[in-house]
Chains A and B, each alone.
Chain A
Amino acid sequence: MWRRIASLILKEFKMLWKDRKSRMVLVVPPLVQLVLFASAATFEVSDAALGLWIEDRAHPAQELVSRFEASPAFRVVARFDNPQAVQEALDSQKVKAVLHVGQSFSADVAAGRPARVQLLLDGRKSNAALILQSYALGIVESFNLARAGQAVAELNMHPRAWFNPNFDSRWFILPGLTVLLTITATLLITALSVARERELGTFEQLLVTPLQPMEILVGKTVPALCIGFVEANVIAVLACLTYGVPFVGSVVLFNVSIAIFVLSAVGIGLVISSVAKTQQQAILGVFLFLSPAMVLSGFTTPIANMPDWAQALTHLNPIRYMVTLSRGIFLQDLPWALAWPQLWPMALIGCVTLSYATWLFSRRLE
């Protein structure tokens, strides 16, 4: 029995490796994506083009403006003196934001009246706009504080971020990216290997060999598992070496999680390929599953922000559990006891989909 399985596994590897192009798409893209996306995926905003519309030449206004000029978040690129010019610059995206200080600002400040400044933001890029808004708030708060002096401060706040003291975006993007790149490869390999055999008619040939359904399943699973292991570990090592992401957790736990995760991916891939009649339908199924599953995994935006029904749906998504695990293991040394609540749902998804696939393989025999 083991010899039979081994020869099937060997055949699967040969299928993947014999063609130079399919070899290339397994090796090169993950590496390129890793380097490119890790650098691109940052929520920090720097050097944002700022326009100034200052109608007040007195000292307090100028002091506030100079604080904006000194901030690394903003770069002053234009000065305006009328609302039409402001509108035009915002419309044509010459500036991301405009700081407006009205005529009475300095007088209000001097008299102790409530004074306000306006920040006009380009809402087309709400994400960047929200971040810029918080930067501007910080600048104005430090201006207030400096004006009030030490006497009024009856409270000091000490914010601290555990596991990622500098709020480095890469530290949370890279562990997630490791998971996404691993599942892209493994899911496509399994979904297409069965769909291709069915389209070409070689799957029937496989079924009439002495191989048992269970053995076919193992033969289709092991290559994807191997590729998943290699890919996840190589990417994790590169993330640590080139981007300085810490890996404080257990390597064993990481690999156990990856194994269960890849099994669930293989199971989903096999179910997709068993429903599909052609490779094309299988690819379509993979896309339809993978693209929403990636976005709704907590990779870019927290699951807690989603509407309740979408949150409920994410429980069927193995990527969700693995992203949580990967981040936990990389950054916070997740203990086994806390990893368990993430591990068993993935294992369950794997069990259900893999047994369905086995049942399907045996049913096709009759």
Chain B
Amino acid sequence: MISARTFFRRFGGLLRKEFVQIVRDPSSIAIALVMPVVLLLLIGFGISLDARNVRFGIVDENRSVESAGLFQAFANTPYFRPFSFLSSRAAEAALMRGDIEGFVVLRSDFSRRVTDPVRAADIAIVVNGVDANNARIVTGYAQGVVATWLLGHRRDRARPVLSPVTVENRYWFNPEIRSTNFIVPGLIAMVMTMIGALLTALVVAREWERGTMEAMLASPASMTEILLGKLVAYFVLGLGGLGVSVFIGLVVFEVPFRGSAEVLVGISSVFLIVSLAMGLLISTVARSQFVAAQLAFLVTFMPALILSGLMFDIESMPHWVQAVTTVFPARYFVSSLQTLFLAGTVWPVLLPNLAMLVGFAILFLALAIARTRRSLE
């Protein structure tokens, strides 16, 4: 059994070696500090679910006060930029070319039938369904514009207006429904997943590829110490990345932060250990940088984008996919960050997430150590 003093001396030496290596090779610093800046800025500004200025055709076969009024109603909303077409055929061609997202057709008898008490007017709303999600949103907006116009039209003609029931929407935690407010915390989680896994996966895979890992294992330091040394060094680097990400979120994107900073650092640290350990595991399994890179991309970026609740609602997925999402740690971190940023320190949400993350940290570390030990024999 070695004394505590020799352990710390040895461990201190290992740590120093890792830091020298980090400083010498700019790519690990780039992963931790440059990647979050580039990814957060590009993706954070680029993702937007708020449709605006949708190019929309109005096929006006009617040429009446009513049809001109409806055109104006489309022009008055921030959602649409209407273009007038004389025939459905011209509008259809524009839709095929992708010049417009959709169009409405006002038949030649539109103004007569909209005032006729017996025969109702028909309006066809055609949208380009190639982007199904956008198509659904645009259809909803268009129906809304027509409905609002109709209300005004009735009022002008002094028809009895039966006041309809209206819905007042209140968004808790995000009253002005800025999509950046919920996307940016999720993006930070995504970026942290990539940083953690990339740092260890690539660096250690390279050590395996070059044979320096075997050289280190042949030294008096134990394998657990070696892995721990790497973990601590990259943990420090990863925390720097987290700091950069949170700073960009708060200052550039102006996302509110309502939780406690200590809890944020605590949960993020646990998550960082999870993703660093995941990277260690990848590198010991892969052994080559090519395979490690493919695996790291596979288990970090795409799952963090699609399976974490960042873009798509987990509870709406089929049950078997929901079951699969539970094995990707990013899911728990996305939920924690969204709550910490927008809602506050809500323990009923944070505790289960934290428990899962701690579980993953232990599991991945144990697996990484076990795999490395086995590969030595």
Contacts and interface: CB of A to CB of B under 8 A. Distances in A.
Chain B, interface residues (CB within 8 Å), range: 35 or more
A121 B124 CA distance: 32
A21 B287 contact: yes
Contacts of A136: 167, 169
Given A92-B348, A305-B51, A328-B130, A125 B166 contact: no
Contacts of B262: none
Contacts of A296: 42-43, 46
Given A44-B316, A114-B163, A124 B132 contact: no
B179 interface: yes
A292 B43 contact: yes
A130 B49 contact: yes
Contacts of A42: 312, 316-317
A72 to B, nearest CB: 11
B140 interface: yes
B346 A92 contact: yes
B293 interface: yes
Nearest to B164: A144
A300 B324 contact: no
Nearest to B92: A162
Contacts of B265: none
B131 A327 contact: yes
Given A91-B348, A304-B53, A161 B291 contact: no
A137 B168 CA distance: 10
Contact of B179 (A127, A158, A292): A127
B288 interface: yes
Nearest to B165: A115
A144 B43 CA distance: 41
B46 A306 contact: yes
B121 A118 contact: no
A162 B127 contact: yes
Interface string B36-52: 00110011011111111
B343 A124 contact: yes
A126 B307 contact: no
A203 interface: no
A305 B48 contact: yes
Interface in A1-46: 19, 21-22, 25-26, 29, 33, 36-37, 39-46
A270 interface: no
B311 A300 contact: yes
Contacts of B169: 118-119, 121, 133, 136
Contact of B342 (A124, A134, A328): A124
B132 A169 contact: yes
Interface stretch (A146-154, A218-226, A261-269): A146-154
A45 B302 CA distance: 21
Given A40-B321, A292-B39, A156 B182 contact: no
A36 to B, nearest CB: 6
A117 interface: yes
Interface stretch (B12-20, B25-33, B229-237, B273-281): B25-33
B198 interface: yes
B222 to A, nearest CB: 27
Contacts of A196: 289-290
Interface string B340-361: 0011101011000000000000
A184 B302 CA distance: 11
B356 to A, nearest CB: 15
Contact of B338 (A112, A125, A294): A125
B253 interface: no
A347 interface: no
A271 interface: no
Contacts of B302: 33, 37
Contacts of B181: 123, 126
A116 B45 contact: no
B170 A302 contact: no
Given A123-B173, A123-B174, A116 B123 contact: no
B130 A331 contact: yes
Given A153-B120, A156-B120, A295 B305 contact: yes
A192 interface: yes
A288 B191 CA distance: 11
Given A169-B132, A288-B38, A304-B54, A123 B175 contact: yes
Contacts of A192: 289-290, 293
Given A153-B120, A284-B30, A295-B46, A140 B324 contact: no
Interface of A: 19, 21-22, 25-26, 29, 33, 36-37, 39-49, 64, 90-93, 96, 109, 112-131, 133-134, 136-137, 140-141, 143-144, 147-148, 151-165, 167-169, 171-172, 184, 188, 192, 196, 278-281, 283-284, 286-288, 290-292, 294-296, 298, 300-302, 304-307, 310, 313, 324, 327-328, 331-332, 338
Given A125-B309, A154-B117, 5 more contacts: A92-B346, A119-B167, A119-B170, A162-B127, A283-B198
Interface of B: 25, 27, 30-31, 34-35, 38-39, 42-43, 45-55, 95-98, 101, 113-117, 120-137, 139-140, 142-143, 146-147, 150, 154, 162-175, 177-179, 181-182, 194, 198, 202-203, 206, 286-291, 293-295, 297-298, 301-302, 305-307, 309, 311-313, 315-318, 320-321, 324-325, 335, 338-339, 342-344, 346, 348-349
13 contacts: A41-B311, A93-B348, A114-B166, A124-B342, A192-B289, A281-B27, A291-B39, A292-B38, A296-B46, A304-B51, A306-B48, A310-B46, A328-B130
Lowest 10 A-B CB distances belong to which pairs?
A: A123-B174, A164-B129, A161-B129, A123-B171, A92-B348, A25-B294, A292-B42, A305-B48, A128-B313, A144-B164
